[in-house]
Amino acid sequence: MVEPFRLAPFFSERVWGKKSLAPWFASTGTDELVGEAWLTGPQSVVETGPHAGERLDAVVAAEGVALLGKNSAESAFPLLVKILFPADRLSVQVHPDDAQAQAIGEPRGKTECWYVLEAEPDASVALGLKAGVTLDAVRSAIADGTLEEKLEMVPVRVGDMLFVDAGTVHAIGPGVVLLETQQTSDRTYRMFDYGRPRELHVEQGLGVTKLTTRARKVAPHAMGEFTRLIEETYFSVDLFEVTAGDVAVSMDGPGCLVGLEGAAQVRSAAGEVELQKASAVVVPAGTEVRVAAVGGAVRFARCMAPR
């Protein structure tokens, strides 16, 4: 039996990131711009329990069935959970689906979702192409710098959940902080980058672009002791709020709990660990834990892959 364990975030430097990620993180350990905190990245290091000091990918390789359940055939933890901190616009980009990724030798595509943690009053994201836009129109707009005009802009506020399926052309700008739950893949095709000197992948991006997708805002649903924010093929994300006492949380498939506010104690038959703000506690598939608030109200997300 594997006990739940907490991971240290891996801070990913990005040209569109920030020097300070306060109040979510006191320090990133670098003076460079950081755009993403990978809470369950392969490089994230275990902070607690018997595997302390090991990388998550090494724990997955060692524990297999005990950690992932029937997903033990996976070569990686199935969900990459991040917090995004854009101070500038990301590129306009698109990701391949499973079949397209496997055609180039990768294990999986990249479908994702975004839960809005912070949003300025006029914040928005680009989510898909406007109706009637063709691939030829996209190619022309990339060449003349007008691609943003072809994108559907969606206003966002704190608490919104957005689904971004593979093949959706999308873009994130400043004014938001997002909790991203996605398939474990970093395959991104940049189609337009606002003049920054980074490599573009126009033809690859056009090759995986879908003119119509299922990308959208997703309405939350009350589910008794938690709120279901999204349930899709590759993941579900639920929001828990505990003001006193504790709550039972089942992890049917492999996944993690992500602290959003306050601190909590996560207890299972195999051990216990503290869940802190902006950290992830990995809970093995098939495990039920009890989560107790420590010193006040706690709010956390359950990010889970299918069993």
Sorting pLDDT into bands at 50, 70 and 90, what band is 75? confident
**If you average pLDDT over residues 101-110, what whole number do you get?**
96
Catalytic site includes residue 190: yes
Single pTM value for the model: 0.97
Average pLDDT of the chain to the nearest whole number: 96
Q: H-type helices in the chain, by residue range? A: 56-63, 65-68, 98-103, 135-144, 202-208
Flag whether pLDDT at 71 surpasses 60: no
Which range has the worst mean pLDDT, 59-68, 257-266, 283-292? 59-68
Active site residue: 190, 198, 214, 299, which one?
190
192 burial type by CB count under 10 A (0-12 exposed, 13-18 middle, 19+ buried): buried
Sorting pLDDT into bands at 50, 70 and 90, what band is 72? low
pLDDT tens for residues 126-149?
999 999 999 999 999 999 999 999
Domains of the chain from N-terminus onward: 5-218 (2.60.120.10), 221-304 (2.60.120.10)
pLDDT at 70: 73
pLDDT at 64: 87
pLDDT at 77: 94
Q: Which residues contact 253 (CB under 8 A, 6 or more apart)?
A: 69, 71, 78, 285, 304, 305, 306, 307
**If you average pLDDT over residues 17-34, what whole number do you get?**
97
pLDDT tens for residues 206-226?
999 999 999 999 999 999 999
